[in-house]
Amino acid sequence: MTWNLQGRIGDWRAREAAIVHHLRHESPDVAMLQESWIENGGETQAERFAESLGMHAATAAELAGFDRYPDAPYWVINSILSRWPVELIQAVPLPDEHGTPTWRHVLIAAIHRPESLGGSFRVAGTHLEHGLHCSATRDAQARALAAALAEAAGPAERRRELPPIVLGGDLNAVPWSDEVRRLTGASTPAVKDFVFVDAWDAAGNESRGDTWSSKNPRVPARAVHPNRRLDYVMVSWPRAKGVGTIGSCFLAATEPVNGVWASDHFAVCAEVDL
């Protein structure tokens, strides 16, 4: 699963209860979370979820901006929840088109699934720059994202022997954008011979799959451009034969819980055979 949780906007405590409800209902093996909060003092939303759900958590706590904004009560970061022990490998800041690091980042982790169930695999969670006019920034971030994940995927000559990396994130970009086309190989890849399969398309979905939708009351009624697919689960390629197949991909958290809509984004869930 991948899901943008909308930080602490609005009645976040009530929304948090709704988020936990949806996480429990979908029961993902791994969830990549964006805009999950960390308090200026250490407590993280992901750790609260992990304790409540009996899961494990990893966060990009080291990239919170409290050094620059010491009076901020909280920050939003990327986090990963896992059914199995999760090991943080790296949290990598993503640059803008001028090469300047931004607060956007990718969180890379190893999921230590028991050998009896198939063994360990790697996942990554990210959140690219928002704004209709920021394609150039997102494209630079997508290039850096691909480079970081290509390195994490192992030497090019061995990638066909290894499990893929599962990427989940809010890319803030539609499927036909330059940045998403670069990631999926619909245009020249950022890293030679290294691309990602979009689970929504690979599963054969015929609907648009909008994750930022006017059907969700948390999306402003006068939003500049609602009804877009901005959130993705992707699987890296090349990869070992017989793994990484997409079984299904669907939207979740598309209804309120006791009248509360959990986030302004719908979640994306995918069945990936690893």
CATH fold, domain 2-273, is Deoxyribonuclease I; Chain A (3.60.10)
Strands 56-59 and 231-237: what pairing? unpaired
Angle between helices 45-53 and 12-26 (to 10 degrees): 40
Please report, for the chain, the start and end positions of each structural domain, with discontinuous segments joined by +: 2-273
* Average pLDDT of the chain, as a whole number: 96
pLDDT 10s digits, 226-254: 999 999 999 999 999 999 999 999 999 99
pLDDT 10s digits, 14-55: 999 999 999 999 999 999 999 999 999 889 999 999 999 999
Alpha-carbon span 244 to 235, nearest angstrom: 7
pLDDT score for 222 = 83
Higher pLDDT, 22 or 221: 22
Q: Averaged over 187-203, what is the pLDDT?
A: 97
Q: Give the DSSP letter string of 3-35.
A: EE--TT-SSHHHHHHHHHHHHHHH--SEEEEEE
Residue pair 75/37 in contact (Cβ under 8 Å)? The answer is yes
pLDDT score for 181 = 97
